[in-house]
Amino acid sequence: MPESQQSHRKDEHVFLAEKYFRATADAGFEQVRLVHNPLPETAVSDVSVTPHLFDWQWPFLINAMTGGSQQTGVLNAQLGRIAHALHLPIASGSQSVALREPALAKTFTPLRSENPDGFVLANLGASATWQQAQAAVAMLDANALELHINAIQEAVMPEGDRDFHWLDAIADIVAHSHVPVIVKEVGNGMTHEALTQLTAIGVQYVDVGGRGGTNFAQIENARRSAPGPWTALADFGQSTVESLLEVQASPLTVIATGGVRSPLDIVKALRLGASAVGISGQVLHWVIQDGEAAAQAQLASWQATLPVLLAALGAADLAALRQLPVVLAPELRNYVAQRQLTLPSPD
């Protein structure tokens, strides 16, 4: 089957995300310090890391990446098996290509067929219709739906959308959806103003999708024959940590994705109010560099590390973690002051 332009684009995204992958991200986690507790008075056997979000056992998911080409179908099968083995929730890459070309659905469905009892999240852009949203959920028998909002990526993409009206479509999808809907940025971060707008139309879940990890301005730029004026957007937006500070006082359930590179990053995001954390580029890197078994082993080691970190901090669960002291670097305090946010405090 000759691959369409859309399929080619999916392969390019994977190739370029891996090409630009950096082991150390710039999502702001180094600007957040948890305070060491010399007397934790907790044991690992006392610790629970259950996020109390859906039926998830772990406070992190393998977040949206791919599908839409033969090669990315193979990748989705690998990711589906890893999610199944480790009981990790997993999100699909954008399924819009499979709604347009139904023959490509089979490059997404391994996320479900390899992971029959797992928690699978469907994924579409926020300009989709509610009928398309239902079709995407049905394609994967999905437990939730991510709607990505990605104005900067679209702006940089040569073939990208030039219309960024999304609230009406999101409201329609939320109103018709039988599964939870998560509105997800893809790397330029969130604001408290956007959260207020989303809350007003009934959205209950948001993924802040902060800057500092996989960078779609950089990836889309690299797909151009010559770099354009868009290179200036390479560092645009709010980091994942800044985004978490933006949404602190929110009644919405918050997932934090973008530049998560270690279990300590996860713990810091949870401390700053995330209910769970999403990881994409790091998982892709392990699978491509080291293979499926090694990627699974790495993620299993993260699972084993989380309760140890909480125990060492003296937190028996995620609620206790959110009570712990945290110290922010001056840049973050400055951000909080200029944006008139509140500093994180125990909740």
Dist CA 285 CA 262 (whole Å): 13
Dist CA 132 CA 130 (whole Å): 5
Nearer to ligand FNR, 186 or 336 (CB): 186
User: Beta partners for 279?
Assistant: 62
Nearer to ligand FNR, 125 or 316 (CB): 125
Closest approach, Cβ 65 to ligand FNR, in A, equals 4
Dist CA 345 CA 347 (whole Å): 6
Closest approach, Cβ 342 to ligand FNR, in A, equals 26
Cβ-closest position to ligand FNR: 213
Helix (H, G, I), strand (E, B) or coil at 102: helix
Nearer to ligand FNR, 65 or 316 (CB): 65
Nearer to ligand FNR, 238 or 280 (CB): 280
Nearer to ligand FNR, 17 or 111 (CB): 17
Nearer to ligand FNR, 65 or 336 (CB): 65
Nearer to ligand FNR, 84 or 148 (CB): 148
Residues in CB range of 281: below 8 A, 6 or more apart: 17, 21, 213, 214
Residues near ligand FNR, by CB under 6 A: 13-14, 17, 63-66, 93-94, 123, 146, 148, 184, 186-187, 209, 213-214, 257-260, 279-282, 284
Closest approach, Cβ 260 to ligand FNR, in A, equals 5
Consecutive H or E run containing 321: helix 318-321
Helix (H, G, I), strand (E, B) or coil at 18: helix
Q: What is the DSSP letter of 32?
A: E
- Among 17, 16, 6, 12, smallest CA distance to 280 is for 17
Helix (H, G, I), strand (E, B) or coil at 337: helix
E strand intervals along the chain: 32-34, 60-62, 90-91, 120-125, 144-149, 181-185, 205-207, 253-257, 276-279, 326-328
Closest approach, Cβ 243 to ligand FNR, in A, equals 12
Closest approach, Cβ 118 to ligand FNR, in A, equals 17
Dist CA 187 CA 209 (whole Å): 5
Closest approach, Cβ 160 to ligand FNR, in A, equals 13
Closest approach, Cβ 273 to ligand FNR, in A, equals 18
